[in-house]
Chain A
Amino acid sequence: MHELSEHISSAFDRDLEEIQAQIMKMGGLVEASIMQAAKSLEARDEEQAEVVRKGDEAIDALEELINDEAARVIALRAPTAIDLRVILAVLKISANLERIGDYSKNMAKRTSVLVQLPAVGGTASALRRMAREVELMLKDALDAYIQRDTALAMDVIERDNDVDNMYNTLFREFLTFMLEDPRNITACMHLHFIAKNIERMGDHVTAIAEQVVFLTTGEMPDEARSKADRTSRDASLAPDMDAHGD
């Protein structure tokens, strides 16, 4: 993509830069929240989990601020072409970040319950590795956004397969633990929701990467990626009741 010069109206440039800065700030908070939630789960640290729950308010507030700013730019500047795509992308990216933040918060809530229950094998560490993978994807998606790097965004979209595979593996592990000892069921149900939520975070990161592709090329990427999550389709693994449809 060619380099565009600055707007004749420098105030327009300042408005756009301000919104981009808010997105990066929000992205930073969400990255930290994912890692902190995963660490508190592994360390069974209720206090740290509480920090994550409280931290979600700042993320929600930033989303609201970005929405207001984007609406203002649309009303006052009537953006077109690349400027319009920036605003559209910003609105969708902030919505995706907000959802990821909610999943972190939910992980922290479940951690508060899980610390009351006996630990189930090494699954908390596996979840932390999965969360780490999603956090790295998010970091790259945001880097791709700032640098307008289509190749990096496509790479992030591809890597969501790994997250889906990690989820499939964990799903089977939880099933095994529950079959072995019904006393694991409560903990495993919570852990499974956490795994599913991290998998959903990966989907939201993928949506952010898709927005980067839209931003740079003007078109959404093809839906060529194979779906690695088969748990919703394989009857021997789980009944087909996946509300998210993914």
Chain B
Amino acid sequence: MYDAAQSERTVTQDVKIAARDVQVYYGDNHAIKDVDVDIEDKTVTAFIGPSGCGKSTFLRCLNRMNDTIDICRVTGQIQLDGEDIYDKRVDPVQLRAKVGMVFQKPNPFPKSIYDNVAYGPKIHGMARNKAELDDIVERALRRGALWDEAKDRLNEPGTGLSGGQQQRLCIARAVATEPEVLLMDEPCSALDPIATAQVEELIDELRRDYSVVIVTHSMQQAARVSQRTAFFHLGNLVEFGETGKIFTNPEDPRTESYITGRIG
């Protein structure tokens, strides 16, 4: 009796990232409080919440991007496939190859389209020769849904592409290192509706191979692309559950107020 959309909502339920009792402090400011969450594999998880609620901060904990901020302190445990990513033996550079990231504003390197994508595989020594590197670049650009538009201009600068193409280039660059998790911090907020739709379609395709975590201010986008939604408010994870449930019948009044556009 279920429609096709129902099957799209099904997820693997294999936990990719398990966070327990996570606290983040910026100096004296307690930015993330007691967050427990299981990010499932091959699932799009959306983080929503008002500005300053901690959703981006928490996202940046997942590949230790907060390490670069001196006053930032993270406690608790975050496991990727059962291994603590804050363990001293973990190399953050290797971690970020596994947990890729795409940012709000497309930020291609001031290099050719080819070099943008080839950069990661080169520094991680993923290709033994030019032919292998060519293969990796083509595969990544195809996954980024940019191959058809870019294949005849691989040597032109990445910055010459349109905004939507640049963002897909950044996604191709992120997937070139064969990550397992893709973090996206408002990847569409600088894009027009057409480019947004293309990136959203791409996110849905990427879900077959990766676990995707997306921070978005657009509730409609969270509803469209994700299977799981987490609502953050004042540094707390208020509610986490199936996206359809969150948007039709949320449990917490704070979630309800936020998604229906009410003053909390």
Contact = CB atoms under 8 A, between A and B. Distances in A.
Nearest to B220: A78
Interface stretch (B126-134, B173-181, B245-253): B245-253
A27 B24 CA distance: 54
B48 to A, nearest CB: 11
Given A80-B223, A81-B247, A4 B257 contact: yes
B238 interface: no
B5 interface: no
Nearest to A2: B253
Interface stretch (A6-14, A130-138, A168-176, A204-212): A6-14
A82 B220 CA distance: 16
A83 B262 CA distance: 11
A38 B171 CA distance: 69
Main SS of the interface on chain B? helix
Contacts of A2: 253, 256
Contacts of A5: 257, 262-264
A80 B263 contact: no
Contacts of B253: 2, 4
B261 A82 contact: no
A4 B249 contact: no
B259 interface: yes
Contacts, number: 47
B37 interface: no
A4 B264 CA distance: 9
Given A4-B256, A80-B223, A218 B248 contact: yes
Contacts of A218: 248-249
Nearest to B256: A81
Contact of A6 (B220, B259, B262): B262
B72 interface: no
Contacts of A78: 220
Interface in A7-28: 7-9, 12
Interface string A130-152: 00000000000000000000000
A73 interface: no
Contact of A7 (B219, B249, B261): B261
B252 to A, nearest CB: 10
Nearest to B254: A2
**Of B255, B256, B262, most A-chain CB atoms within 10 Å:** B262
- The prevalent SS among residues of A at the interface is loop
A81 B261 contact: no
Contacts of B249: 81, 85, 218-219
Contacts of A8: 261-263
Contacts of B255: 81
A21 B68 CA distance: 56
A4 B263 CA distance: 9
Contacts of B219: 80
A79 B259 CA distance: 9
Interface in A81-102: 81-85
B260 interface: yes
Interface string B62-86: 0000000000000000000000000
B233 to A, nearest CB: 15
A4 B248 contact: no
A78 B248 CA distance: 12
10 contacts: A4-B253, A4-B257, A5-B263, A12-B261, A81-B249, A81-B260, A82-B260, A83-B260, A84-B248, A218-B249
Task: Sort A-B residue pairs by CB-CB distance and give the 5 closest, nearest first.
Answer: A218-B249, A2-B253, A80-B247, A80-B259, A83-B260
